[in-house]
Amino acid sequence: MSSSAFRPADYIDNERGLISREIFVNPELHRQELDKLFTRAWLFVGHESQVPLAGDFFQSRMGDESVILCRDKAMQLHVFLNSCRHRGMKVCRYDSGNTSLFTCPYHSWAYGLDGKLLGVPQFRELYQHTLDKDANSLITVGRMHNYKGAVFATWDPGAPDFETWLGGAKEHLDLVLDCRDGRPGGSEVIGVHKWIFPSNWKFAAENFLGDTYHNISHRSVDLIGIGPSARAGVTGRRDNEMDKAKHIWAGFPAGHGVHSAILPEDNEYIPSFMNDPEVEEYFRHCFYERKRRMGEKSRLIPFTGNLFPNISFHGRQPRNLCNWHPHSPTETEGWRFFLVDADAPAVVKDFLRRYYMRYSGPAGMTEQDDMENWLYATAASRGAIARRHPFNYQQSLGKWDVTAEGGHNSWQVSEQNPRNYYRVWAEFLNGSPWDVLVGGDPSYRQQAAQ
Amino acid sequence: MSETLERRLATHPRYAALQAEVAEFLFHEVELIDDRRYDEWLALLAEDLVYFMPQRMNVKFGEHAARENTRAGTGISWFEEDKWTLGKRVAQIQTGVHYAEEPLSRVCHMLSNVRITAAVPSLDDPAEVTVSSRFLVYQNRVEYENYTFIGKRHDVLRRHGDSWLVARREILLDQTVLLAKNLSIFF
C-alpha cells in the first residue's frame, strides 16, 4: 500500500461498526502514523514537577523519538528533539538530572538550556566563523503548553491552541490534574513506570477511551480485593464511590474520549480509603471541601479517559497520566506518570503510592491482565485469514446524544468513543487540515442542521 | 558494609557452615516458587516483610549512590510490598482467572554468588543475617513468550527455630525500562 493510496474507508467503517485489523499490525500504516499523526498531534511530554529547578531536565519521548524537557535559567520550559544537529547523536543520555549544557558525546557540540548552539570545537579553524549557530540550535517543538503543570507539545507550529484541541475534554482532564479538594492544578508526579510490551499502542489507548466492557477481565482482583479499603473488608479493586452515580461515555471532536460519572444531586460522601483512618479523614475533608468550592460541578467525577492519540489517564483510584509510545506496529513503550496533590499530607502520599504500585503498570495486579489481553489481541491479528475479518465495533451503535460541541454523550457502555477516535485517526493519516481534525463528526453537523 | 568487615566475616570459622545453611534456605525458597507451592512460600516470609524492587535510572557519573535507584519509603518503584500484598498476589493467581498468569508461566530461578555480608548480633549466634546474591530468573509463558530477569538481591533473613524467615528483600533488576510486559512472578 503506498501512502498516496491510503483510503480511510478501507479501514474504518463507522456506519457498520467495523474496523480493520490492519491498523493494529500493518507496518506501512504504522509508518504513516509516525509521519502524519505523531508529527502533528498534541502529545504529553512530562510534568513541571519533574523539572522544578533551573537546569533540571527529563528525557521524554514524542512518538518514537527522544525529546528533552528542560527548564532554563529564566525558569522557562523547553522541549527539544534529543539529537545533535551535526550527526544526530543524543545530546542527553540521562533519564533526568540537572545541567547547564547538553554536550554531544560524538563531536562535542554543546547546547544551552534554551537549545541554542553555544559550543563548536575548532569553530574558528574549521568553520571559518561561517557556521550559523542559531540555525543549528536543537530542533524545538512547534508549540508547547503547560496546562496545570502537565506539559504538552506538538511538532506542528500550525496546530490549534492546546485548549481548542482539548475541547470539552478539558473538564475531565481537570478532574485528573486538580487537587482533590477542588483547587485548580496542584498535582505532582511521584514516579514514572517505563516498560515495553508486544502490542499495538492503540490497544492501550482504547482501553482508557472508556472500554468499560473489559471490566470482567479484572475479575481476579475484584474477587480478592486490593482497593483502598480492602483491609477493611471492601472487595473490588477500588472503593464504591460511583455506586449511585450515572455513568457517562463522552467523546469529543478531536478524538478524545472519557468515561466519567455524575453523582446524584443529593450526593453524600461515600466512605473510602478505609484502610487507614487518617487517610479516610483526609479524603472525607476533600470531598466536602470540593463540594463547597465547586457546587453543582463537583458532581462530575473521573474514571478513565484518553486524549487523542496516546495520552491516557486514570482520574481517581488510581490517579495517573500515561503515554503509549509506539516502537513498532506490534511493540509499545508504556510510560505511566503517577500523580498526587503536591501538598497532601505525607501519610496520604504514602498510602496512595502503595495503592498505585499494587494496582497499576506491569507489576500492578490489575493492569497485568490488560497487557496480557493487548499482547494476544495484537498477535492474533497478524494472520492472513484474521486480517480479512475486521474487528466488531458495533456496541451501542446509534445510542448516543450529539453535543453542541460536535461530540457525543452515551449513557450506556459504548464503543462510540473508539469509533470517534478512529474517525480522527483516519483524518490524520489522510493529511486533513486542522479544522477537520478538531471539527468533529460531519454527520453530527448534518444532524444538528436537520 | 566495609571490605575489611566482609573479609573478617568470610574468614570467621563459622562462616562456611552458615553460608551453606543460608544458601540452602534460599535455594529451597525459590524451589517453592518454581514449584508453585505459593502458600508454603508465603509461610517463609516474616510478618513485617519488606519486599522492594526499585526502578533503575541512567544518571550522571557521581550521582549513582544518590539517584540511580528509586528508594523505599518514597515515590514509585516496581514493588514496595508487605506480606499482605504478596498474599493478595498469591490469592489472585489462585482465583484461576488472573489472565496474566493463567495459564501459569513456567518459571526457573537460578541463584548464585550467595554471600553473607552481615550477621547480627554475631556469626556465632546470628538472629539476623544479611545475604547478597545474584539471580537469573527465566519465565516462559504460553508458547512464545520468554523473559529473562537478571540482577542482584539483598536479603535480610531472620532466625526462626532451625530455619529462617525472609524479613527484607531488595531486588535490583538490571534494567531501566522494563524489558518485559509484566512482573507477574515472584523474585
State the CATH number of the domain containing residue B41. 3.10.450.50
Which residues form the domain of B32? 3-173
Residue A442 has pLDDT above 70, yes or no: yes
Q: DSSP string covering A331-385, please?
A: EEEEEEEEEEETTS-HHHHHHHHHHHHHHSSTT-TTHHHHHHHHHHHHHTT-STT
Q: Which amino acid is at A77?
A: L
Please indicate, yes or no, if residue A13 is contained in any of the structural domains. Answer: no
**A203 and A310 both lie in a single domain:** yes
Q: What is the pLDDT of residue A446?
A: 72
CB A92 within 8 A of CB A59: yes
**A119 and A254 both lie in a single domain:** no
**A233 and A354 both lie in a single domain:** yes
CB contact under 8 A, A195 and B180: yes
Please indicate, yes or no, if residue A445 is contained in any of the structural domains. Answer: yes
Please indicate, yes or no, if residue B93 is contained in any of the structural domains. Answer: yes
Q: What is the pLDDT of residue A445?
A: 72
Which residues form the domain of A101? 43-145
**A177 and A78 both lie in a single domain:** no
**Final residue of a domain: which of A90, A113, A145?**
A145
Tell me which residue in A220, A230, A338 faces B76 most closely, judged by beta carbons: A338
Q: How far apart are CA B47 and CA B43, in angstroms?
A: 9
Q: What is the pLDDT of residue A235?
A: 87
CB contact under 8 A, A192 and B78: no
Q: DSSP string covering A265-325, please?
A: TT--PPP--TTSHHHHHHHHHHHHHHHHHHGGGGGEEEEEEEETTTEEEEESSSEEEEEEE
Please indicate, yes or no, if residue B70 is contained in any of the structural domains. Answer: yes
CA A37 to chain centre: 15
CB contact under 8 A, A223 and B75: no
Please indicate, yes or no, if residue B186 is contained in any of the structural domains. Answer: no
Mutation target to probe the A interface, by most A beta carbons within 10 A, among B99, B102, B105, B146 is B99
Please indicate, yes or no, if residue A29 is contained in any of the structural domains. Answer: no
**A257 and A368 both lie in a single domain:** yes
**A218 and A91 both lie in a single domain:** no
Please indicate, yes or no, if residue A37 is contained in any of the structural domains. Answer: no
Going by pLDDT thresholds of 50, 70 and 90, the confidence category of residue B2 is low
Please indicate, yes or no, if residue B99 is contained in any of the structural domains. Answer: yes
Please indicate, yes or no, if residue A8 is contained in any of the structural domains. Answer: no
Per-residue pLDDT tens for A417-441?
A: 999 999 999 999 999 999 999 999 8
Q: What is the pLDDT of residue B8?
A: 78
CA angle B130, B134, B138 (to 5 degrees): 135
**A241 and A141 both lie in a single domain:** no
Q: What is the pLDDT of residue B4?
A: 67
**A87 and A211 both lie in a single domain:** no
Mean pLDDT of A250-273: 95
Tell me which residue in A226, A363, A371 faces B79 most closely, judged by beta carbons: A363
Q: % helix / strand / coil in chain A, to the nearest 5? A: 35, 25, 40
Longest dimension (CA), chain A: 77
**Inter-residue long-range contacts of B155-161, CB under 8 Å, 24+ positions, other chains counted:** B155/B26, B155/B130, B155/B131, B156/B128, B156/B129, B156/B130, B156/B131, B157/B22, B157/B25, B157/B128, B157/B129, B157/B131, B158/B46, B158/B127, B158/B128, B159/B126, B159/B127, B159/B128, B160/B46
Q: What is the pLDDT of residue A1?
A: 47
Tell me which residue in B76, B88, B97 faces A357 most closely, judged by beta carbons: B76
State the CATH number of the domain containing residue A293. 3.90.380.10
**A116 and A203 both lie in a single domain:** no
Q: Which residues of B touch A50 (CB under 8 A)?
A: none
Q: What is the pLDDT of residue A117?
A: 98
Residue B135 has pLDDT above 90, yes or no: yes
CB A56 within 8 A of CB A96: yes
The number of domains in chain B is: 1
Please indicate, yes or no, if residue A283 is contained in any of the structural domains. Answer: yes
Q: What is the pLDDT of residue B1?
A: 52
Please indicate, yes or no, if residue B179 is contained in any of the structural domains. Answer: no
Please indicate, yes or no, if residue A137 is contained in any of the structural domains. Answer: yes
Q: How far apart are CA A201 and CA A383, in angstroms?
A: 19
Mean pLDDT of B163-173: 98
Residue B105 has pLDDT above 50, yes or no: yes
The number of domains in chain A is: 2
Going by pLDDT thresholds of 50, 70 and 90, the confidence category of residue A443 is confident
Q: Distance, in angstroms, between A408 CA and closest chain B CA?
A: 33
Mean pLDDT of A41-65: 98
Please indicate, yes or no, if residue A439 is contained in any of the structural domains. Answer: yes
CB contact under 8 A, B57 and A96: yes
**A137 and A266 both lie in a single domain:** no
State the CATH number of the domain containing residue A59. 2.102.10.10
Q: Which residues of B touch A373 (CB under 8 A)?
A: 99
Please indicate, yes or no, if residue B180 is contained in any of the structural domains. Answer: no
Here the ipTM equals 0.95
CA angle A181, A182, A184 (to 5 degrees): 125
**A186 and A99 both lie in a single domain:** no
Please indicate, yes or no, if residue B161 is contained in any of the structural domains. Answer: yes
Going by pLDDT thresholds of 50, 70 and 90, the confidence category of residue A444 is confident
**A284 and A431 both lie in a single domain:** yes
Percent of chain A clearing pLDDT 90 (strictly above): 91
Per-residue pLDDT tens for A306-317?
A: 999 999 999 999
Q: Distance, in angstroms, between B119 CA and closest chain A CA?
A: 30
Q: How far apart are CA B84 and CA A230, in angstroms?
A: 11
